[in-house]
């Protein structure tokens, strides 16, 4: 029985550890140089960064995960800096240090994590604009800041967290600008009570920022980012319609997370449209089964945060073990199911509190670059729909405009593209389709090609 786990975040680490505890010798593949994934990333050695301080109240969980993985390392075939770029049947095509190779598996757990969901705005391609996740990676991996005076813009609980981390590391926070109105947060309270600690933690970040004099604004409307070689000003409109000009040299943009589902799709998962997140999510059962020999865990399956990732990684591994004739404890399964259910319900609450501003995305000014790889503007997309694309379908729009055809394969522009097409054509967003995934899911250099066998 050969089990492979893809992804070295909390979900993947827990999955691999669980398989190893049951006597399997799992292979764990991860793109990064060190285990931990995005949230529990550990800094490069030799960097003077007090990661424990940055992790704040998550410190204990962070340390426990890393410590336990370190202890289990001998029982896991852990391969860092290894990226899976294609899947064909039960074969993974991987790339490591500039060389390709293949690995076969009997069962596969994909714990591929999430990436930022972005609403573009005019000027977002000016140097100094980062996704919120990118801003956090720069900090946690390299101890680097994206700027000295950083504005945090979007609609996400992570805005306040990242702002606090930046402030603690010596940056000036030019402000946290949330596009969702504050009452949306109040309305979400019943959902948020499914994980009261997490909710309180979020509120305490906001309170701490406010106490230190950081401007916090809710219900704002992003207008544009100004600057030539570098971000100079972030222009916003407040709830009363007044323009605000924020002096800053970097902007971190984040509108919540979206699962990285490319591998799941190549491995054969099917997808369903989720109304509260307004995204297509892989279809899984309560334990993470997504198809024959295929299991999904963590944020790559459904956004749930680090605790849900750990729990769902363990649960997916238990499901795999049960399906392959191993004895597993039903009580443990029941407990994990219950806690994952609760945590994911909390995330639904967050999706209300920090709403994806789909109307803003759909109504982006024509000159806004939507696809930064291929330089396609919102106007280009609307023009393509204008020449009679009926019914409107994202892959057709992509073929005509090149939106989503570049390096990132639509991972950044896809959500905005979906909203523009739906808004422009008047079609319900669930009916305009979904950008299809093709290998390679990450760019791969010709020189890396080595023929298997």
Partner 1 sequence: MSTTVETIIIGGGLVGVWTAYFLAKRGRSVIVLEKESVGAQSSGVNFGNLRLQGRYPDQYPLSLRSQDLWERLPELIGDACEYDRTGHLYCAFNEAEAEKLAHYAKVSRANGIAIEDLDRSDLDKRFPYMGGKVIAATFSERDAVANPRLATPATSRAAQALGATIIENCRVTGIEARNRGFELRVDDGRTFSCTHLVNSAGAWAADIAARFGETVPAFAAGPPQFVTEPVPYFIGPSIQTIDGSVIARQIPRGNVILAGYPRTASDPVANRAPVPPHKTLAGMTALARVIPALAHASVIRVWSGIEAYLPDMIPIIGPSHAIPGLFHAFGFCGHGYQIGPGVGLCLSEWICDGHTPTPLAAFCIARFKSEVAVSEKFKAEFDSGGQSR
| Position among 168, 322, 429, 439 found at the interface with partner 1 (CB under 8 A) | 439
> By C-beta, is 331 or 447 nearer to partner 1?
447
| Of 137, 405, 429, 430, the one binding partner 1 by CB under 8 A | 405
Q: Which is nearer to partner 1, 46 or 452 (CB)?
A: 452
Give Cα separations from 324 to 269, 295, 317 (angstroms): 19, 13, 11
Take residue 226 and report the two structure tokens written for it: 């100004």
Near partner 1 by CB under 8 A, which window of 45-53, 118-126, 153-161, 391-399? 391-399
Angle in degrees, CA 338, 339, 344, rounded to 5: 105
Q: Is 200 in the site for partner 1 (CB under 8 A)?
A: no
Closest approach of Cβ 451 to partner 1, in Å? 6
Q: Which is nearer to partner 1, 84 or 248 (CB)?
A: 84
Binding region for partner 1 (CB under 8 A) out of 41-49, 79-87, 249-257, 267-275 = 79-87
* 386 is a contact residue toward partner 1 (CB under 8 A): no
Q: Min. distance of Cβ 49 from partner 1 in angstroms? A: 31
Say whether 450 sits in a helix, a strand or coil: coil
| DSSP one-letter string for 174-223 | EEEEESS-HHHHHHTHHHHTTSHHHHHHHHHHHHHHHHTT--EEES-EEE
Residues in the chain: 453
Please check whether residue 272 is in contact with residue 261, taking contact to mean a CB–CB distance below 8 angstroms.
no
Does 390 engage in binding with partner 1 (CB under 8 A)? yes
Question: What's the rounded Cα separation, in Å, for the pair 413 and 117?
Answer: 9
Integer CA distances (angstroms), 438 to 147, 158, 253, in order: 35, 30, 27
- Rule CB under 8 A: is residue 68 a binding residue for partner 1? no
Looking at the Cβ atoms of 89 and 190, the one nearer to partner 1 is 89
**Does the bond joining 440 to the residue before it have cis omega, within 30 degrees of 0?**
yes
| Interface with partner 1, residue 406, by CB under 8 A | yes
| Of residues 243, 266, 275, 331, the one with CA closest to residue 89 | 266
Q: Kindly state whether residue 335 participates in binding partner 1, applying the rule CB under 8 A.
A: no
Backbone angles phi, psi at 450, to 5 degrees: -130, 135
Task: Please state, in angstroms and rounded to a whole number, the distance separating the CA atoms of residues 391 and 398.
Answer: 14
Size of the site for partner 1 (CB under 8 A): 31
Rounded to a whole number of angstroms, the minimum distance from the CB of residue 86 to partner 1 is 4
Two structure tokens written together for 280: 């297509």
Q: Which stretch binds partner 1 (CB under 8 A): 65-73, 113-121, 325-333, 394-402?
A: 394-402
The residue from 181, 291, 379, 440 that contacts partner 1 (CB under 8 A) is 440
SS (H, E, C) 374-389: CCEEHHHHHHHHHCCC
| Residue 97 makes contact with partner 1 by CB under 8 A | no
Any contact of residue 85 with partner 1 (CB under 8 A)?
A: yes
* Interaction between residue 451 and partner 1 (CB under 8 A): yes
Q: Which of 38, 42, 100, 425 binds partner 1 (CB under 8 A)?
A: 100
If binding is defined by CB under 8 A, does position 86 make contact with partner 1? yes
In the complex, minimum distance from the CB of residue 408 to partner 1, in angstroms, rounded to a whole number: 9
CB of 150 to partner 1, least distance (A): 29
- SS3 of residue 343 by DSSP: helix
Structure tokens at 18: 């669980």
* Residue 427 interacts with partner 1 (CB under 8 A): yes or no: no
Asked if residue 255 binds partner 1 (CB under 8 A), the reply is no
Which span sits near partner 1 by CB under 8 A: 121-129, 169-177, 209-217, 389-397? 389-397
Residues 389, 427, 429, 430: which binds partner 1 (CB under 8 A)?
389
Q: Does 387 bind partner 1 (CB under 8 A)?
A: yes
DSSP assignment of 115-130: EE-----TTTTSTTEE
Q: Are 111 and 313 in contact (CB under 8 A)?
A: yes
Phi, psi of 68, rounded to the nearest 5 degrees: -70, -35
Is 447 a binder of partner 1 (CB under 8 A)? yes
CA angle, 207 as apex, 204 and 212 as ends, to 5°?
130
Please state, in angstroms and rounded to a whole number, the distance separating the CA atoms of residues 412 and 429. 18
Binding status of residue 383 toward partner 1 by CB under 8 A: no
Give the whole-angstrom CA distance, residue 378 versus residue 345: 34
The verdict on 409 binding partner 1 (CB under 8 A) reads yes
Does position 446 interact with partner 1 (CB under 8 A)? The reply is: yes
Q: Which residues sit at the interface with partner 1, rule CB under 8 A?
A: 85-88, 91, 93, 100, 387, 389-391, 396, 399-400, 405-407, 409, 438-440, 443-452
């Amino acid at each position: 029985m050969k089990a492979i786990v893809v992804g070295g975040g909390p979900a993947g680490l827990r999955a691999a550890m669980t398989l190893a505890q049951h006597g399997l010798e799992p292979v764990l593949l991860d793109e990064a140089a060190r285990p931990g994934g995005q949230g529990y990333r550990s800094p490069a050695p030799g960097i003077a960064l007090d990661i424990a301080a940055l992790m704040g109240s998550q410190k204990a969980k962070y340390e426990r995960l890393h410590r336990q993985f370190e202890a289990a390392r001998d029982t896991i075939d852990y391969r860092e800096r290894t990226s899976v770029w294609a899947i064909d049947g039960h074969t993974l095509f991987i790339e490591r240090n500039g060389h390709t190779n293949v690995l076969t598996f009997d069962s596969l757990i994909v714990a591929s994590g999430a990436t930022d969901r972005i609403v573009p705005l005019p000027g977002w391609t000016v140097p100094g604009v980062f996704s919120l996740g990118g801003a956090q990676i720069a900090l946690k991996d390299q101890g680097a800041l994206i700027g000295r005076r950083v504005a945090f813009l979007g609609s996400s609980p992570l805005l306040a967290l990242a702002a606090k981390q930046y402030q603690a590391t010596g940056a000036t926070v030019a402000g946290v600008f949330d596009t969702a109105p504050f009452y949306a947060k109040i309305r979400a309270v019943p959902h948020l009570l499914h994980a009261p600690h997490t909710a309180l933690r979020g509120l305490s970040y906001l309170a701490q920022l406010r106490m230190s004099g950081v401007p916090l604004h809710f219900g704002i409307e992003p207008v544009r980012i100004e600057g030539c070689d570098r971000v100079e000003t972030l222009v916003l409109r407040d709830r009363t319609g007044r323009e605000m000009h924020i002096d800053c040299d970097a902007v971190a943009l984040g509108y919540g997370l979206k699962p990285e589902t490319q591998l799941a799709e190549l491995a054969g998962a099917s997808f369903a449209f989720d109304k509260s997140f307004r995204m297509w999510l892989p279809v899984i059962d309560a334990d993470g089964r997504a198809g024959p020999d295929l299991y999904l865990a963590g944020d790559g399956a459904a956004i749930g945060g680090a605790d849900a990732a750990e729990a769902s990684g363990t649960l997916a591994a238990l499901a795999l073990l049960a399906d392959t004739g191993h004895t597993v404890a039903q009580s443990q399964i029941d407990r994990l199911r219950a806690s994952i259910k609760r945590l994911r319900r909390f995330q639904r609450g967050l999706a209300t509190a920090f709403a994806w501003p789909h109307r803003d995305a759909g109504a982006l000014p024509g000159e806004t670059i939507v696809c930064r790889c291929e330089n396609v503007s919102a106007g280009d997309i609307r023009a393509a729909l204008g020449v009679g694309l009926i019914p409107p379908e994202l892959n057709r729009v992509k073929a005509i405009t090149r939106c989503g055809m570049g390096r990132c394969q639509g991972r950044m522009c896809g959500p905005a593209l979906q909203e523009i097409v739906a808004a422009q054509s008047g079609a319900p967003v669930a009916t305009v389709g979904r950008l299809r995934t093709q290998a390679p899911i990450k760019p791969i250099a010709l020189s890396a090609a080595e023929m298997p066998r």
